[in-house]
Structure 1
Amino acid sequence: MNTPNLDELITDFVIQNKEHYYRLAFHYVKNKEDALDVVQESIIKALSKKASLESPELLKTWFYRIVVNTSIDLLRKQKRLVIVDDEVLTSLDAGNLDQYTDFDLKNTLDSLPVQYRSIIILRYFSDFKLEEIAKILDENLNTVKTRLYKALSILRIEMNVN
Structure 2
Amino acid sequence: MNQTELAKRAIAGDEDSFTLLIEERRESVYRMAYTYVRNKEDALEIVQEAVYRAFISVHKLRQPQYFNTWLTRIAVNCALDYIRKSKKVVYMDKEHEGSYTQAGRDDALDLLEALEQLDEKSKTVLMLRYFEDLTIKEVAEVLNTPISSVKSIIYRGLEKLKVNLGEREFLG
TM-score range, shorter chain: 0.7 to 0.9
Aligned counterparts of 1:10 and 1:138: Cα–Cα separation in 2: 23
Aligned counterparts of 2:26 and 2:165: Cα–Cα separation in 1: 32
Amino acid at match of 1:55: Q
Corresponding residue of 2:110? 104
Corresponding residue of 1:4? 13
Deviation at 1:161, TM superposition (A): 5.2
1:42 aligns with 2:45: no
Which residue, out of 130, 133, 137, partners 2:143? 137
Aligned counterparts of 1:106 and 1:24: Cα–Cα separation in 2: 14
| Contact 1:25–1:67 (Cα < 8 Å) also in 2 | yes
Runs of 4+ in 1 over 4 A off after TM superposition: none
Unaligned residue ranges in structure 1 (runs of 5+): 92-97
Counterparts of residues 8-157 of structure 1 (less than 5 Å): 8-87=16-95, 99-100=102-103, 101=105, 102=107, 103-157=109-163
Q: Which moved more, 1:48-57 or 1:32-41?
A: 48-57
Aligned alpha-carbon RMSD (Å): 2.1
Aligned counterparts of 1:68 and 1:48: Cα–Cα separation in 2: 17
| Contact 1:10–1:59 (Cα < 8 Å) also in 2 | no
Q: What's the TM-score, normalizing by structure 2?
A: 0.81
Deviation at 1:155, TM superposition (A): 0.7
Deviation at 1:87, TM superposition (A): 2.6
Secondary structure of the corresponding residue to residue 49 of structure 1: helix
Q: What's the TM-score, normalizing by structure 1?
A: 0.86
Count of aligned residue pairs for this structure pair: 155
